[in-house]
Amino acid sequence: MTSETLEQGATRALGGRARKMSTGRTGDRLFGLSAKGSGILLLAVMAAIAVFLIVKALPALRADKANFLTSQEWNPDAAQSRFGIAQLTFGTVLSSLLALILATPVAVGIALFIGFYAPRRLADGLGYVVDLLAAVPSIVYGLWGLQFFVPKMNGVATFLHDDFGWIPLFGGDTVGGQCILTASIVLAIMILPIISSITREVFLQVPRANVEAALALGATRWEVIRMAVLPFGRSGMISASMLGLGRALGETIAVALVLGTASGISLHLLKPGGNTFAANIANTFAMAGKIGQSALIASGLVLFVITLLVNMAARAVIARRKEFV
């Protein structure tokens, strides 16, 4: 209150020039409110995503005559609407986990190479080369995968099946390039830069003293990494790979283009076909009817929840040892 009278006093004293002497309080309030409003708007968008997906998923869930969680069918637009997410969940989780297993060691290797092995002057440039992998749009990965990589994988798949068919994963009756293994490799390439750039940042935080102490004790370069660097960066590596997993789970277009269209649950990695949440939505949305679209939205909701949980878990690991990232 007192400040307001002060302002009025100043206005009276300065007469016509009062407007230029504004304390800016109104502007401050407006600006602060709009900044706060933007933050709240962002929260509202997140809430709206959940709410609208649930609202639009309900009609299909009500019409579903099969068990939504355990059924392997996907015929939401039939007269007797029957659909379930069992095979989608299986395909999504299998391809993403496989991609994670393939990508993590390579990504850690890249981070080590750039951080400890490459000449200092080249390190930045090499990091940029890896970041370029992240800049390539997923549709280009899809096109490359379909036109270039799948034909190559046809041979690899036949070779693996003929020579290592006794391993159940490589068994099965039919083999081909448009299989889960190919999709996983493409996914692995796509999540590589994410994992390696976060891991690299964690490695940069390793205390210089630990590294030098290990060197002073006569450790070789590998021993320094194993004893000083890797233990320090463990939680960072875990959360980095979980963020990569989150990306792989939601990746759509590349998987949709690379995978064949046969459906069903099969552990045979070389069998053409398989399906994921995102690929199923991308492939069938345009042709779906009312209930079909609603069913796809329901499956999208499940995907949203899964990626949300994975990302939150990754953030929680980071937050527990915040000083690393």
Partner 1 sequence: MSTVNLAGPSGLRKFKDKLALVLVCAAFALAVIPLVTLLYTVIKNGAKRFDMEFFTHSMNAIGGRDAGGGAYHAIIGTIEQVGLASVISIPIGVLTAIYLVEYGGGGRLARVVTFFVDVMTGVPSIVSGLFVFAFWIALLGFEYMGFAGSLALSVLMLPTVVRAAEEMLKLVPNDLREASYALGVPRWRTICFVVLPTAFTGIITGVMLAVARVMGETAPLLMTVFVTTAINNDPFKGPQMSLPLFVWDQAQLPQQVAIDRAWAGALTLILFVMLLNLAARLIARLRKPVSR
Interface of this chain with partner 1, residues 251 to 310, rule: CB under 8 A: 251-253, 257, 278, 281-282, 285-286, 293, 296-297, 300, 303-304, 307-308, 310
Closest to partner 1 by CB, 131 vs 162, is 131
- Compare residues 60 and 266 and give the one whose CB is closer to partner 1: 60
Interaction residues for partner 1, span 94-133 (CB under 8 A): 105-110, 112-114, 117-118, 126, 128-130, 132-133
Q: What is the DSSP letter of 156?
A: H
List 162, 231, 312, 320, residue binding partner 1 (CB under 8 A)? 312
Size of the site for partner 1 (CB under 8 A): 93
Can you say whether the dihedral through the CA atoms of 136, 138, 141, 143 is positive or negative?
negative
Phi-psi region of 218 (alpha: psi -120 to 50; beta: other; left: phi over 0): left
**DSSP 8-state secondary structure symbol assigned to residue 166:** T
Residues 197-226, mask of contacts with partner 1 (x by CB under 8 A): ---------------------x-xxxx-x-
Among 91, 233, 236, 250, binds partner 1 (CB under 8 A): 250
Decide: is 31 part of the binding site for partner 1 (CB under 8 A): yes
Q: Tell which one of 32, 151, 155, 289 touches partner 1 (CB under 8 A).
A: 32
Q: Of 216, 239, 238, which is closest to residue 228 (Cα–Cα)?
A: 216
Residues shown for the chain: 325
Amino acid at 173: D
Q: Which residue has the tokens 């016509």?
A: 16
Select the residue interacting with partner 1 from 3, 5, 38, 80 (CB under 8 A): 38
What is the identity of the amino acid at 227? Answer: M
Instruction: Return the range that interacts with partner 1 (CB under 8 A); candidates 31-39, 62-70, 77-85, 161-169.
Output: 31-39
Which three-class secondary structure state does DSSP give residue 32?
A: helix
CB atoms within 10 A of CB 218: 7
27 binds partner 1 (CB under 8 A): yes
Helices 290-320 & 25-63 angle (0-180, nearest 10): 130
Task: Specify the 3-state DSSP secondary structure of 74.
Answer: strand
Q: Which is nearer to partner 1, 168 or 221 (CB)?
A: 221
